[in-house]
Amino acid sequence: MATRSLPQHISKQFDQELEDLRARVMTMGGLVEELLSNGLDAMDKSDAEMAERVTNSDYMVNAMEVSIDEECTQVLARRQPAAGDLRLVLAVIKTISDLERMGDEIEKIGRMVVRMCEQDSPKSYYVSVLSMGQHVREMLHDALDVFARMDSGKAVEVAEQDKKIDEEYGAIMRQLITYMMEDPRSISNVLEVVWAVRALERIGDHANNLCENVIYLVEGKDVRHTSIEDMRKEISSD
């Protein structure tokens, strides 16, 4: 299990810039987590107004991505970092891209909750979705924690949660198909839930990518498209 501290540079200013990048990613991640939390809350309480606010907040996530991305480009141009520093900046660029895509999925969930409220859909449709949503939120929280600590061992553990989320996804889908078959008039309504479940599953995938970015950063190994077992081997082979 490896963790990584920020390197110390002769230039204190450069240290500060890297630390600042990392802090800004954490702020962006915190915002995404909060929006997901609020989106699930809005679903739970059938609160269309809250869901609307979630949907309308995605622009903040987008703005953060553009701004951090710009800062990364400037750091690369000005500091011409090498080795670990370079990997840090590249990992930040990838991480914020994943966070931004999570924001897009959360926006969809918000829109879906608004429509569910309008249609007054029975709550039975989304009880299990809420439970899956909590697991996704926990996984995102843990993935951000992994990024904050730069802990590649923990990264593998968190990445494993994605498998469970995929299983939940499969079970909920089967349930939703049953609802649709039993009452074809509900198809449009249930499909809204289907999109939300799909969006949650994708947020899990992106949280998984966050973990892979940390492994790349700490271990210098690209573990995308690698199974959890192989990830473990890669890390323990150091």
Comparing C-alpha atoms, which of 181, 18, 36 is closest to residue 89?
18
Comparing C-alpha atoms, which of 26, 61, 33 is closest to residue 138?
33
31 binds a copy of itself (CB under 8 A): no
188 binds a copy of itself (CB under 8 A): yes
Tokens 């879906």 correspond to: 112
Indicate the residue among 142 and 168 with the shorter CB distance to a copy of itself.
Answer: 168
User: What are 99's two structure tokens?
Assistant: 């966070």
193 binds a copy of itself (CB under 8 A): no
Q: What is the rounded CA–CA span in Å between residue 232 and residue 229?
A: 5
Burial class (CB in 10 A: 0-12, 13-18, 19+), 14: middle
- Considering only the stretches 10-18, 34-42, 83-91, 157-165, report the one whose residues sit in contact with a copy of itself under the rule CB under 8 A: 83-91
83 binds a copy of itself (CB under 8 A): yes
Q: What is the rounded CA–CA span in Å between residue 7 and residue 198?
A: 39
How many residues make contact with a copy of itself (CB under 8 A)?
31
93 binds a copy of itself (CB under 8 A): yes
Please identify which residue in 11, 16, 59, 164 interacts with a copy of itself, judged by CB under 8 A.
59
User: What are 43's two structure tokens?
Assistant: 């679903």
87 binds a copy of itself (CB under 8 A): yes
Q: What is the rounded CA–CA span in Å between residue 197 and residue 193?
A: 6
Indicate the residue among 1 and 177 with the shorter CB distance to a copy of itself.
Answer: 177
Per CB under 8 A, residues contacting a copy of itself are: 59, 62-63, 65-66, 69-70, 73, 76-77, 80, 82-83, 86-87, 90, 93-94, 97, 177, 180-181, 184-185, 187-188, 191, 198, 222, 224-225
